[in-house]
Structure 1
């Protein structure tokens, strides 16, 4: 089954029961193994219960009469039965472990598939640490429950049914006595389940928030230290930590009640059966072997219920984790391509925006009636104060966000009528924030176009002035980068990002402050490389350093989500408007 195919058959969970059913739907993908496990489970339970039932003839026919020869044969039979049960349990556990891991692998694949198909706005609105917690903590809870608890749950449930049937065979009267405490057990369990379920969900959510805060503090530790806010960070963490502790205590307290309550009720049940059974032996002629077997089953009847109680923590934590995972899986993905969507071929790079309006919320528009046209191979610059909407325009072109109204065209095609993957392959984007993967320098550059040859990777690095510093690295292009390229300077990281865009060989270049983190000397070198890179390509550039866009074919001056001026550098300077003022302020 391909990643994501399984999602079609899932329904959104509303409570613990629905989540459990949904979790089970992942298990049934291994139907044949489950059938085999079911057979082995029946064999192991039959061996266990059958061995206990043989206590009745063992006592009545061999122990009381003193038939030691028959006793020896019966003991040999018991050993054979129990050995069969042991082998069945061993194979059953091996298969259950396999199914459990395969199920978790499917869930993890579905979660990752959905993450790759979620819109960018989802990641802007959710803590990365909380999302990571769903991959790690929540998935681990499910893994533990499936591999360690699933077999015990199935075995316990079938054992209860089997014991109840054999109890009826031995003595209906004692079975009725035993049933006196069973409703009390289930009533107690139901009350504890209702109380603790909400605390387990709160515990997992609090754990995700705590992990998210820790992740933020780890990535922002330099900022914390430079402003001396260690104490505030500790206080904030203490608040989250205390919240997690309180919710965990409540969840563990209520779930911890299950085991002692069940054990005490089970002991009460055993005492009642012993008293009534003894009276039946004395006054009604009930056989001693039958009483011994019934008492054995009474102990066994309480054991699976106690086991379910002991597994309760694991099961509730797994259900809470599964619900958090399904919350992500059920998120609305990026809008699907239209059935008639086309694939761009031989892209020339003509870009047009016509009366484009956009806002993250309908009541607050960020772009207000943006219109411009960029002919193929032209260089368009966007300038203006922070928050004017420049980066938002760049985000509209690859459809990271969909516009509210208006139209955006590439080579005359409405971008909504173009297949999204085809649209994005026609572009390369270099953002203000760099991101490098844990891999070699060579593979980080090649990420722009995975089929690029080593020669093309080196050519892209030379073009963007990255080759010289790469050659000085310990293993040159084979140097391994870790932790987002922490062993490189910020400027070097940006150079690799620009080289990545160069190797993609796109028709349209989107540069968002591409040289903002590069020193003046490197900027001169890279500007030459960028000029060569932009030849024959449509380029949209956001730049605060106006010196880098003097040769732009058209400069769009933005203010409050609108284009207030447009023209070449010389035209705008002569106009002595907003651009002229920005230019004067920068070179004052």
Structure 2
């Protein structure tokens, strides 16, 4: 439309200039014709703008309907139990199998994690690591086998009471259009300001928050204005504030630089103390100190042990570790 406006203006100005030089029309007539041309193209411009609005509305409607059509989470069984004991954090996977469709994703996986241990799930993309966490949080239900928490099958527990004892730190944490204080407090809405600040100190987030224009009252516009590493620190502070017995870390340090990773690792070490922790990581240097490492391939555990034991075996983990050393 802008091109059409410019083209019509050029034609009228050129033709009008020639006619005016020859005394056939006055400058006023030329001005009138320019205005007429604008009046002629204005409805076309408005129509084009309305068409763009319609396309934007259709795209937005598709996203809204995709949410509305999302299947509701399966309701708890009528006899499901609420966790009313002090969770210790012993977790057992017994002959667990799961598939998204007809293709098996997890196949007959069995392992045991003692309370307070840190375990790392290692493997190539699509090996089934994140699926294992989704099964533990009951975002998906098992096809076969069972998962036990302190000796009790999690399928017999209410989802809410199970998840109240967990905290998840993802690769790309979501921050709301709210203040720093409210974003951290999201995990425990009734937490006091002092408790939020203490959690941020433990997460090493307090120093950068103090440097923000309004400190803890600084408005975060959908996470804009702070770095990816700072977002992760706020996510870790959320988890510390929640004080969970089970901690799930899914690629929490994968999208940051090495210097920021060092600060994050110190915060994660604080967070994992005394908690049963499951860590997914492609950077193997971040999980070397884990109590156990489980190496997944095509939904099965092909190796397990400590870092030193797996290096001595010179198997899949050794190859992955060696490849990263030379990257």
Settle same-fold status: TM greater than 0.5: yes
- Residues 396-416 of structure 1, C-alpha deviations (whole Å, 9 max, x = no match): 111111111110111111111
Secondary structure of 1:340's partner?
coil
Bigger proportion of residues as strand? 2
Distance 2:255 2:231 in 1: 9
1:501 Cα deviation from its structure 2 partner: 1.1
For the pair shown, which has the larger CA radius of gyration, 1 or 2?
Answer: 1
With normalisation by structure 2, the TM-score equals 0.78
Secondary structure of 2:104's partner?
coil
Q: What pairs up with 1:45-444 in 2 under 5 angstroms?
A: 210-211=59-60, 328=68, 332-344=71-83, 345-361=85-101, 363-444=102-183
- Residues 201-228 of structure 1, C-alpha deviations (whole Å, 9 max, x = no match): xxxxx98753367x7xxxxxxxxxxxxx
- Residues 509-541 of structure 1, C-alpha deviations (whole Å, 9 max, x = no match): 000011112322222122122112211100000
Task: Pick from 263, 266, 286 the counterpart of residue 548 of structure 1.
Answer: 286
Distance 2:61 2:169 in 1: 27
1:390 Cα deviation from its structure 2 partner: 0.7
1:333 Cα deviation from its structure 2 partner: 2.2
Distance 2:74 2:305 in 1: 36
Alignment correspondent of 2:276: 538
Q: Say whether residues 1:518 and 2:265 are aligned partners.
A: no
RCO comparison, higher one (Cα < 8 Å, 6+): 2
Are the counterparts in 2 of residues 512 and 542 from structure 1 also a CA contact under 8 Å? yes
- Please report the RMSD computed on the Cα atoms of aligned residues, expressed in angstroms: 2.2
Are the counterparts in 1 of residues 93 and 147 from structure 2 also a CA contact under 8 Å? yes
1:360 Cα deviation from its structure 2 partner: 1.3
Distance 1:207 1:496 in 2: 33
Specify every segment of 5 or more residues in structure 1 that has no aligned partner in the other structure, as ranges: 1-205, 216-320
Distance 2:214 2:142 in 1: 45
Are the counterparts in 2 of residues 383 and 543 from structure 1 also a CA contact under 8 Å? yes
Q: Say whether residues 1:471 and 2:320 are aligned partners.
A: no
Bigger proportion of residues as helix? 1
**Number of aligned pairs?**
272
Q: Find runs of 4+ consecutive structure 1 residues off by over 3 angstroms.
A: 206-209
Closer, same or farther in 2 for the Cα pair 1:424/1:527, shift >3 Å? Answer: same
- Residues 91-135 of structure 1, C-alpha deviations (whole Å, 9 max, x = no match): xxxxxxxxxxxxxxxxxxxxxxxxxxxxxxxxxxxxxxxxxxxxx
Specify every segment of 5 or more residues in structure 2 that has no aligned partner in the other structure, as ranges: 1-54
Are the counterparts in 2 of residues 572 and 579 from structure 1 also a CA contact under 8 Å? yes
Are the counterparts in 1 of residues 199 and 238 from structure 2 also a CA contact under 8 Å? yes
With normalisation by structure 1, the TM-score equals 0.44
Distance 2:75 2:231 in 1: 34
Distance 2:199 2:104 in 1: 39
